Structures are given as C-alpha cells and as structure tokens.
A and B are shown apart, each in its own frame.
Chain A
Amino acid sequence: MTGLVIEALTVAFGRFTALDGVSLAVDPGEVRAVIGPNGAGKTTLLDVISGITKPVSGRVMLGDRIDLTTRSEAEIARAGVRRKFQKPSVFPALTVRENLEIGCGPAVPAGARPARIASVLGEIGLGPRADIMAGRLSHGEKQWLEIGMVLAAEPALLLLDEPVAGLSDAETAQTAALIRALRRPDRAILVIEHDMNFVEAVADRVTVLHEGRTLYEGSLRGARSDARVIEVFLGR
C-alpha cells in the first residue's frame, strides 16, 4: 500500500512563504481534493510532490520508504507518481496514440504497450481520434488525453491539477465519472479544483489550504459549515 504522507512541508520563494508547515496524509484508495483561494499554495504542493520545486524543510513520503523531496522528477515518476498539469500538457507534434505510448513510461516493455494504450483510449473515449496530432484536439480532448497519459502508467499516486478547468458542464460530468472510475484500493488520488460541484462528486475528503497553511481537513459538508473556511473561501 502506497499512500502519501506529507510532513511539515515548508516552501519559500525568496521571502515569500508559499507553504508553511503543511501536513497531509492521503490513504491508498482515497480521492482527496485540495481546495483554497488563489495563492493558497495548491499548485506549489503538487510541484513539490512531483519534484519540480524543492522544499525548504519537511518530507513527502510515498509509502514507507521513498522521500520524494530527495528525488528528481523522472525518479518520482518512476516510483509511480503521475501528474496532470493545470494547463493541458500534451505533445502537440505527436499523435494521440504516440502521446499515450510515451505516457506508459520507460518501465513498461514495448510489447505490453499496445494493449495498455488500447484500454486507455477506451477509458478516455478518444479511440476514433487515436491517429491525429494532439495539437489538433479541442481543449476538452487535450484534458482527457493528458489524463490518459498519466493513467497509462497505472500510477500509485495520481495528482490532478484542475482537471475540469475550461470544460463545459457535460464534459465536467464526464470527467467526474472518469475520475470516480479511477479509484482503486491501491491508488491514492489528489485533486486540485475550484469547481465545488465537481469536488463533491469525486472527493472522499477535502483539505482546505489558505495562505500556505492547512485550514480544514474533513468532509466537504463539514468544510461548508466551518466558520473559518466560509470566511476565507466559500463565503466570498
């Protein structure tokens, strides 16, 4: 079982403290949403987990053994962590199928890739578009392709940064259904999202960040009735 445990994480950019002693534990099988106003440190949190930003102090443990703060992006990915970026990050000069092939990661042998790619294409509903250049996809299709790319490696920890940003209501509902279907006993999922209906649809628990600190942790219903949360975020 490889859950995620973040202990007293502090990140500073110059004199600005983006994360200030944040602790967080995501159990295997759980879908956790991280919410909070702009500048709360949500994306920074994902940057630290995926190795793009190094913290000043604190640990990010994947399972019992691996401290992600000491690893490179590629090593973290190979340990089973995948991240979907806020801006859809697909490779425009490659076809949908080639994007997914790269998404399988270096660890999956070439022989095992076609079956994996076919199954992911089915999950994200891009089967008919498999051989066109990813640069030609619509915004929503790019979002799904990127989700497919991070799924292809069957990650133990999935990080989703605003997966429904810019999507229509129908696309948002489809994406929520897709993410619910990704829930597995051996997989932890961490979602950042502003859309509260979406959070309600996918998340088991929520963590509310505000100015780099944890303000609340628990059910979304509880967050909605928490006075401090209402003050800084929901009650705007």
Chain B
Amino acid sequence: MSGAMQTVLAPPAGPARRAVRDPLVAGLVGLCLAVAVGLLVARPAPYLVNALGQLAAFAILAVSLDLVWGYLGILSLGHGLFFAIGGYVCAMHLLSHGVAVTGVLPDFVQFMGWKSLPAYWAGLDHPAYALVLALALAGLVAFLFGLASFRSRVNGVYFSIISQALVYVAMLLMYRNDTGLGGNNGMTGFPLLFGWPMGSPGVATGLAVAALVALAAVLAGTRLLVGSAVGRRMLACRDDETRLRTLGYSTTRLKLGIWCLSAMIAALAGILYVPQVGIINPRVLAPDLSIEIAVWVAIGGLGRLGGAVIGAVLVNGLKFWLSAAMPEAWPFILSGLVLVVVLALPNGLLDLVALRPRPTWLRSSR
C-alpha cells in the first residue's frame, strides 16, 4: 500500500494526547442539553428547529464511525447501511402507524396494486417493537459482516472496500420496487407520530429535542467506553493488533462487539433522522454518502469523539447553507476542506484548538 494512502487511512497513532477528562465532550453534552431546553422554552422558527435536529442526528452518525475508525482503526465506508436500516424501519413504523389510525394505505403500496401492507410489516405500528427491530437488525447485519471479516482477518483498506461494496449492494436491492419497501421512490408521506400530526411545530420540536438528548447520551456513553479498560484495549488493538493477540486477548471478539455497537448507534441516528426529513429512499445507501461520513470525522478530528461532532455539525451546517446559496460550488468546497485537513491539519480541526506549532507531517520521519 502506498505511503500516502496509509497516512490518510491511519488513525493518529504515536504519542496521542489522551486526557483522563475530556472537557470538549463534557462541554458538548452540556451544549446539547442546553440547546434542547432552549428549543422547548424559546420555540424558534421551525426550519431552525428542524436543522438543529438533523445536525444532531448526523453528529450521532459521525460518533458511531469515529468509535470504530478513530479508536479501533476500522474504517467503514459503508456506515450508511446501518443508518439506512434505522431509517427504513422507522419509516415502516410511521407508515404502519398511519395505516392503523387512518386506514389509508401508503402511496407505494397502492401503486403496486397491493390490498394491504406486506406481511413482514406486522406489528411495526408498535413503536417499541420497531425500535428493537431497527437496532437488532443493524446489530445482526453488522455481526454477520464483522464475523466473516474479522475472523478471516480482513483489515485495513480491504475491509473499507468491502464495506463500501456492501452498502452499494444494499442500495441496488432497495431500488427494486417489489421488496415492499418503497423501491426507488422510497417511503414518504408519514401522516402521524405517536398519534400527532407530523407537520405540527410541537412534533418538530419534540423530534429535535429527542435527537439532541440522544446525542448527549451517545457522547457520554461512548466517552465512558473509550475511557474504560475496554477503551484502552481498543487503542491497543488499533495500534498493534498482533501484539494484543499475543498477550492473550481475543481481538476478534473485541472488534466484533464494538463494530456491532457502532452499527446500532448509526441505526439510532437513522431512526431520529427520517421523521425529521419526512422521507427515506435508496439514495441514503449511495456509496458517496457513506464516504462523506468519514469526511465529517476526518475534518473534525479523528479519534476524538468531540471532533466527530464538530466535523458533522460544521460540514452539514455549511452544506445546509451553501447548497441552497450556491449549489454548484458545494462539491468544490467540500473537496477543498478535505485537502486542507489532509495537508495541514492531519488530526482535523481540533489541531487548530491544540495550537500545535507545526503539523505532524512536517515532523514525522517518513
């Protein structure tokens, strides 16, 4: 593998500064909760509420990737798959719930000429069942893929490429109209959420608050994990897996466990995202979207949970603004950001905060 590729893909090894306390994560948890309270009290404009809620969902997705990439050295370029599993199951719940209350079948079901929802949708109008199913399904897919890969010791770029292929295959599958999942149009037109009309301001606020609280909980939980003995083994596995194995640890089990956890966190992000945008379609499984998640993490600061949040919020905040203001410039701006980070800030924007005198690539003895 080329040296440059290695540099881009490799998490920051070497003498990482790993503080016992993480004021950035603590601050972000506080900020999420404060913004959530602010939304409940101040009731700002609906588009702002919605944007904040979507950003929180993206931040959760970025944290899920940072957990496996930054702390375990496993770069997934297919995390959109787990996000989509959460999103699709959530959409199925919303439509089932709508059918149960209004009796009107969703458009795509009528379009297919079916008289009822497909049989495997049974029970999805119960929110608890839908939640458990979404997380369990993401965990199961991650488990099977992870087991096959980690047992045969598929690592590094090979794993990344296979994960990318997996999300692509899933996209092709979901483009089929006969799967009963909306086909290429996806699923939309969700009428109700827990019996409340979808478009009402209260629902938008509730969804945004839920996403912010979930982000705070995910950040706090993952921070506890990476600060624990398991977290130390993750860093050890990232930097020298053979060394860790020959000290008596089963790295397959460690990687599989964290990989499945990461997939379930990504699914949670998808669950929170879909009701806020009101649609899910196979585009969410496009390979470039999965790559973009890695870009958020790299821009914010790989291997630091706060960095993933900052990257996701910054890139998507810019995207919300610029893709409306000057849509044709957005791909160039994103590419430019990536180049700046790779060349000047190899540990992401958090390098700026740390005020390091010189970027690491000038010091490294390659």
Contacts and interface: CB of A to CB of B under 8 A. Distances in A.
Given A52-B242, A74-B248, A77-B246, A133 B15 contact: yes
A114 interface: no
A142 to B, nearest CB: 12
Nearest to A152: B247
B244 interface: yes
Interface string B226-240: 000100110110111
Given A52-B242, A91-B235, A91-B243, A78 B248 contact: yes
Interface residues of A, number: 32
Contacts of A98: 232
Nearest to B17: A133
A133 B16 contact: yes
Contacts of A51: 246
A136 B14 CA distance: 8
B240 A89 contact: yes
B235 to A, nearest CB: 5
Interface in B214-267: 229, 232-233, 235-236, 238-240, 242-251
B232 A94 contact: yes
Contacts of A101: 229, 232
Contacts, number: 84
A199 B113 CA distance: 83
B245 A74 contact: yes
Contacts of B239: 91-93
A105 B249 CA distance: 7
B236 A91 contact: yes
Interface string B272-300: 00000000000000000000000000000
Interface string A72-98: 111011100011010001111110001
A212 interface: no
B13 interface: yes
B247 A153 contact: yes
A136 B246 contact: no
Interface string A95-115: 000100111011100100000
Contacts of B244: 91, 102
A10 interface: no
A213 to B, nearest CB: 26
A106 to B, nearest CB: 6
Contacts of A93: 13-16, 18, 235-236, 238-239
A125 interface: no
A78 to B, nearest CB: 5
Given A133-B16, A135-B16, A136-B15, A94 B246 contact: no
Given A93-B235, A135-B16, A153 B240 contact: no
A190 B296 CA distance: 48
A44 interface: no
B242 A73 contact: yes
B235 A94 contact: yes
Given A91-B235, A94-B236, A85 B243 contact: yes
26 contacts: A52-B242, A52-B246, A72-B250, A74-B245, A74-B248, A76-B246, A77-B249, A78-B248, A85-B243, A89-B242, A91-B243, A91-B244, A92-B16, A93-B14, A93-B15, A93-B236, A93-B239, A101-B229, A101-B232, A102-B233, A102-B244, A106-B248, A133-B16, A135-B13, A135-B14, A150-B247
Interface of A: 50-52, 72-74, 76-78, 82-83, 85, 89-94, 98, 101-103, 105-107, 110, 133, 135-136, 149-150, 153
Given A52-B242, A89-B240, A94-B236, 13 more contacts: A52-B246, A73-B242, A73-B245, A74-B250, A82-B247, A90-B243, A91-B235, A91-B236, A92-B16, A93-B16, A94-B235, A103-B247, A105-B247
The 4 closest A-B pairs by CB, nearest first: A135-B15, A77-B248, A73-B245, A105-B248
